[in-house]
Amino acid sequence: METTSEGPGPDAPTSAGTGTGISTSSGSDGFADGDADRATVVRRLREGMAVSVLSFPLTSFHEDGSLDADGYRAHVADRLAAGPGALFPACGTGEFFSLDEDEYRRVVTIAVEETAGRVPVVAGTGYGWAQALRFARIAEEAGADALLVMPHYLTPAPQDGLVAQVERIAAGTRLPLIAYQRGQVAYTAETVRRLAAVPGVIGLKDGHSDLDRLQRTVLAAPGDFLFFNGAATAEVQARAYAAVGVPAYSSAVHAFAPEIANAFLTALRAGDHGTVDKLLRDFYVPFVELRDRAPGYGVSLVKAAARLRGCPVGPVRAPLTDPSAAELAELKTLLATGLDLVGATL
């Protein structure tokens, strides 16, 4: 069974205007009073990113594919007990792409309720800007602190179109936005500079791992713009990202083995390269190799590992597929190895 492994995350104090969504009051321009709220969200995210990993909880489903709200609530509570810097519900790991609007509302609401202001809650949104705004309004009503703008659906787009997409979302919500580049969305350094000038856009999650481009992007952006490493199994590239000025990262492993995720971060921040290398060699790299066997295993394996530890997360939804019995056996052995490395048990 998974044991709570309190991470280095902050015990962020609950205060008015934090952890309960952006204030609905406004000045004469409709957004003036939101500026202070956005500054508070940026500060709290920066504080959380400085001391812990960013946690992307899984969304729990029953065997028939319906939402398991109770299982999800328990899973979120366990993630929070492990001390993340922030919580990102209904994003890629949380199968945002498979949720309808009612399910999305329930998922974000539960995350906000369980978090109770301890850390920022950043909900996913996406598709075209019109649909993204429907999700954004739900997230506002649910009390989220910010939004992660997922890559738009299907089609490639020029840089001007990518900027316009984010501008339309930013203009229609009070919540601060973190843009996410992955798949068909790849921003140039100049585009990120433009995005940083859009009111309400506060940061970038990078999923491309093009470190040459990312270095130029970091240098082009304003100093208060947030960046974090959003590569699949981000720990594998954490040192390389830190070298170009992006030390913060999301951790899929935190969703099923926070003991490993927190031990890795502690070693990394302490400069304990021996421990970092051992965890990479004996756990993270083999996990990536297993993950790369099938499309979508970046979510499917994480869910399977959580189930192996007794977490009530259920199966993935189609079009994703769960690992085979043989792959589950490999995963169980690998997970036991990783936990043993940090003094924990399956």
pLDDT tens digits in sequence order for the chain, 346 residues long: 555 555 554 443 333 334 434 333 333 333 345 677 889 999 999 999 999 999 999 999 999 999 999 999 999 999 999 999 999 999 999 999 999 999 999 999 999 999 999 999 999 999 999 999 999 999 999 999 999 999 999 999 999 999 999 999 999 999 999 999 999 999 999 999 999 999 999 999 999 999 999 999 999 999 999 999 999 999 999 999 999 999 999 999 999 999 999 999 999 999 999 999 999 999 999 999 999 999 999 999 999 999 999 999 999 999 999 999 999 999 999 999 999 999 999 9
Secondary structure class of 47 (helix, strand, coil) = helix
C-alpha distances in Å from residue 189, one per residue of 15, 169, 178, 194, 234:
36, 21, 16, 9, 21
Q: DSSP code of 284?
A: I
Res 66: pLDDT = 98
Q: Full-prediction pTM beyond 0.75? A: yes
Q: What is the DSSP letter of 61?
A: B
Is beta strand 146-149 parallel, antiparallel or unpaired with respect to 177-181?
A: parallel
> Looking at residue 36, what is its pLDDT?
76
Residue 278 annotated as catalytic? no
- DSSP states along 129-175: HHHHHHHHHHHHHHT-SEEEEPPPSS----HHHHHHHHHHHHHT-SS
Which helix (H) or strand (E) segment holds residue 302: the answer is helix 297-308
Q: For residues 121 and 6, give the distance between their C-alpha atoms in angstroms, rounded to a whole number.
A: 19
- The three-state secondary structure class of 264 is helix
List the one residue out of 197, 191, 198 whose CA is nearest residue 206.
Answer: 191
Out of 72, 180, 241, 284, pick the active-site residue: 180
Among the listed residues 72, 205, 249, 303, the single catalytic one is 205
Pairing of strands 54-55, 146-149: unpaired
State yes or no: is 180 an active-site residue: yes
- Can you tell me the distance from the alpha carbon of 333 to that of 104, in angstroms, rounded to the nearest whole number? 34
- Radius of gyration over alpha carbons of the chain, in Å? 19
Q: Identify the burial level of 193 via C-beta atoms within 10 angstroms of its C-beta, where 0-12 means exposed, 13-18 middle and 19 or more buried.
A: middle
